[in-house]
Structure 1
Amino acid sequence: MEKKIIHFEGLIVLVATIYIYSLHEFSWFIFFLLLLAPDVSMLAYLLNDQIGAQVYNLFHTYVVSLLLILIGMFLKLDVIFMIGLIWTAHIGMDRMFGYGLKYKTGFKDTHIQKL
């Protein structure tokens, strides 16, 4: 049951960010170009599992992406706002598909499930 809630939460976040993105008429080319950019953080796993998990989790928690959205909104910086929305959409998409924050024990150990 808990997994279904997290999947649904991810769907809602993804849909909401896409809706807000469309209201601002930002480039869809940029959206799809950057949608998977946070997954570059997986390269940190080449160093070791502990560093990999820390870097991956930093790029896959809502804290940073929502801060970018807030900074972009309050300072009227459309590029920062757009990047924050795309980043948040990515995290929502990941949660929707069952990819969660990583434990230091290995890439497949997440807070949602073992992949």
Structure 2
Amino acid sequence: MPRLLLRLEGLALFILASWAFAFTGTSWWLYAILFFSPDLSFAGYLAGPRFGAVAYNALHSTLGPALLAGLGLLLESPILLGIAAVWAAHIGFDRMLGYGLKYASGFKDTHLGRIGRQAAGA
């Protein structure tokens, strides 16, 4: 049941962040271009699982988009708010699919449980 709730939380974040993006007046092309950009952090795994987990988690924690959204509100910047919304939508999308923050033990070990074929009930 907790795993289902966490995935539903991810779905809610994805929907709400995408909806918030619409209010920024920013081009949907930007949304499309930036949506998967946090996944560039996968490249960190080339330096090993510990560094990969740090890089992945830095771009897949809601702290980053929350801080960027705060800055966007402070500066009254629609572009910063739009980027924050896309970033948050990506995180929600990943969580909805069961991808969580990574542990240094390996890419498949996440805070939502183990991912992949050997994961039971994921």
Q: Give the TM-score normalised by the residue count of structure 1.
A: 0.96
- Alignment correspondent of 1:78: 78
Q: Is the 8 A contact 2:17 2:86 kept in 1?
A: yes
Q: C-alpha displacement at 1:25, in angstroms?
A: 2.5
Where has structure 1 moved over 3 Å in runs of 4 or more?
none
Alignment of 1:14-33 (within 5 A): 14-33=14-33
- Alignment correspondent of 1:5: 5
Q: Aligned equivalents of 2:24 and 2:100: distance in 1?
A: 29
Structure 2 residue runs of 5 or longer lacking an equivalent are 116-122
The residue type paired with residue 96 of structure 2 is: M
Q: Aligned equivalents of 2:79 and 2:23: distance in 1?
A: 15
> Number of residues paired by the alignment?
115
- Alignment correspondent of 2:120: none
The residue type paired with residue 16 of structure 1 is: L
Q: Give the TM-score normalised by the residue count of structure 2.
A: 0.91
- Alignment correspondent of 2:36: 36
Identity of matched residues, %: 37
Residue-by-residue CA offset, 1:58-115 (whole Å, 9 max, x unaligned): 1100001110011001111222111111100000000000000000000011111211
Structure 1 residue runs of 5 or longer lacking an equivalent are none
Q: Aligned equivalents of 1:19 and 1:88: distance in 2?
A: 11
- Alignment correspondent of 1:109: 109
Provide the secondary structure at the position in 1 that maps to 2:109.
strand
Structure with greater proportional helix content: 1
Q: C-alpha displacement at 1:14, in angstroms?
A: 0.7
Q: Aligned equivalents of 2:40 and 2:27: distance in 1?
A: 22
- Alignment correspondent of 2:68: 68
